[in-house]
Structure 1
Amino acid sequence: MSLVAGRGPLGPDRAGWFSAPVADPIVYVEPHPRRVQAVHRGQIVIDTENALLVHRAGTALSYAFPVGETADLPTEPEPDAPGYVRVPWGAVDTWLEEGRTLVHYPPNPYHRVDCRPTRRRLRVAVAGELLVDTDDTVIVFETALAPRLYVAPDHVRTDLLRATSTSSYCNYKGYATYWAAGDVDDIAWSYDDPLPETRPITGYFSFDPDRVDVSAELPSPDRGT
């Protein structure tokens, strides 16, 4: 969703600007020359390299397929790509792209994650108890999202944390485990087995500034505007 979400170039809170006005809302449709497969009841029901990607503000990134390449699955026309149809994500059991199992929506070719070691300071406290105070951190720059600091467990009072039942999935980082401290749930998250592009933050913690007191030395999002 990077083009049309958050601070992306076609998103609601653009980080930059265009040299000429761009109509809103705008839909961007492009060829996607990767092998996309769908599996339903143990059978491959879609197997194509002719899919399109549809970037539409307010909705998840989606595939569009040529009419006739979607077996007997439910479809609806893609209004911005005549001759193509969309298939509801939940209409099949498994989606794959070049052999990788997908969750929620297709991975975005414009979405990038950079994990850089840094000396930016992170201080975290909850209910007056200091959990983190270090400048040995990793800053994560993720397309269309604000940068975040992650910190190794060695610099965290992990004795004050406990895992919660909350979980989430990111197509670019993987499955997250969430952590509570005291009476406050889900103050932090970590990735025990992240996807290859985010291996540098394996087991590292990031903290929710809306749930605990976080002081993070981060770049200003509005610098240069």
Structure 2
Amino acid sequence: MTTRPAAPFPRATPEGLLWEPSERWVRGTAGDVTVVDSRHPVLVWEPRLPVPQYAFPRKEVRTDLLRPARRPRTGSHTGSTVFYDLHAAGDPRPNAAWTFPADDLSGYIAFAWFGPGGTGLDHWYEEDEEIFVHPRDPHKRVDAMPSSRHVRVEIGGTVVADTAHPVLLFETSLPTRYYLPREDVRLDLFAPADHSTRCPYKGTADAYWSWRGDGAVPPHILWSYPDPLPAVAVIKDRLAFYNEAVDLTVDGERLPRPVTPFSAGLRA
């Protein structure tokens, strides 16, 4: 039986890592092979990364599938010098796993979260639900709430959406996103885009549109979640714009365009 240290958490290590135990059952697979099957994971935050990652007790990892890395990616994780190549489901996956130098985490192994063709595992599950991109942060909230606010969206002075029936999505550390009824968006002004993204809190956004008109407008500015995760089911099939690249007016108040981690990628 694994003994969990007493609270408070998260705890800091001399290397600048933060960590805390999780009680979620976590599994990771490469092809048809279950590489991680853990009921005692820990969440680890590195100083330069805004999202957590999991690390797992060695006994809950298929360490027989790991080999010392041929070309360790020293410097890619805080203080880590021990890296492993994963030999499962076909070709070796370089630097798929590593250990952290902190004494608190000496018995744990972390894994990359990149899918097929990358270096990490293909699928991850918390309990029986697949999760994407990175573990969910227990200190972050995502709330989707129906509202009667009046929301108007403009691009270059053209009104592209106008509704009194939005769903407001509040996500810690990000601006409020406004998910609008499809019938209240001028979709005729946009072209379908071959683009998709994944979110650990909302699921897969595999419906995107780009602006047809003039002006320095970034591509993929409008998106939808056709099949969102149950926690935010109310946004299903609704449409949202990047606040960073459009002009939003809410209840008569023009909102400033925020600067977020997405801003750098939103260039026309």
Whether the 8 Å CA contact 2:38–2:61 is kept in 1: the answer is no
Deviations 1:86-133 (A, max 9, x none): 223343332222122222212222332211122322211234432112
Aligned residues: 200
| Whole-Å separation in 1 of the counterparts to 2:30 and 2:242 | 38
Matches within 5 A, 1:3-42: 27-42=17-32
CA contact (8 A) 1:149 1:216 kept: no
Structure-to-structure mapping, 1:71-220, within 5 angstroms: 71=62, 72-73=65-66, 74=84, 75-80=97-102, 81-89=105-113, 90-176=119-205, 177-183=207-213, 184=217, 185-217=219-251
Cα distance in structure 2, aligned partners of 1:51 and 1:206: 35
Q: Using CA pairs below 8 Å that are at least 6 residues apart, which structure has the higher relative contact order?
A: 1
Where 1:197 maps in the other structure, the secondary structure is helix
Structure 1: 5+ residue stretches without partners: 1-9, 11-21, 221-225
Cα distance in structure 2, aligned partners of 1:162 and 1:98? 38
- Matched residue of 1:45: which SS? strand
TM-score normalised over the length of structure 2: 0.65
- Which entry has the higher C-alpha Rg, 1 or 2? 2
Name the counterpart of 1:7.
Answer: none
Higher strand fraction (1 or 2):
1
Q: Sequence identity of aligned pairs in percent?
A: 33
Residue identity in the other structure for 1:204: R
Cα distance per residue 1:13-60 (max 9 Å; x no partner):
xxxxxxxxx9xx953211112211122241222212121111233224
Which letter does structure 2 place at the counterpart of 1:104? Answer: V
2:39 is the counterpart of 1:49: yes
Q: What is the rounded CA distance, in whole Å, between the counterparts of 2:247 and 2:201 in structure 1?
A: 27
User: 3-state SS of the aligned residue for 1:105?
Assistant: coil
How far residue 207 of structure 1 moved from its aligned partner, in angstroms, is 1.4
Structure 1 residues 210 and 39, CA, compared in 2 at 3 Å: closer, same or farther?
A: closer
1-structure distance, mates of 2:121, 2:243: 37
Question: 8 Å contact 1:208–1:214 — kept in the other structure?
Answer: no
Structure 2, unaligned runs of 5 or more: 1-9, 67-83, 85-96, 114-118, 257-268
Deviation string 1:169-222 (CA, Å, 9 cap, x unpaired) is 1111111122122144322111111111111111111112343333235899xx
- Helix, strand or coil for the counterpart of 2:194? strand
| Alignment-derived partner of residue 63 in structure 1 | 54
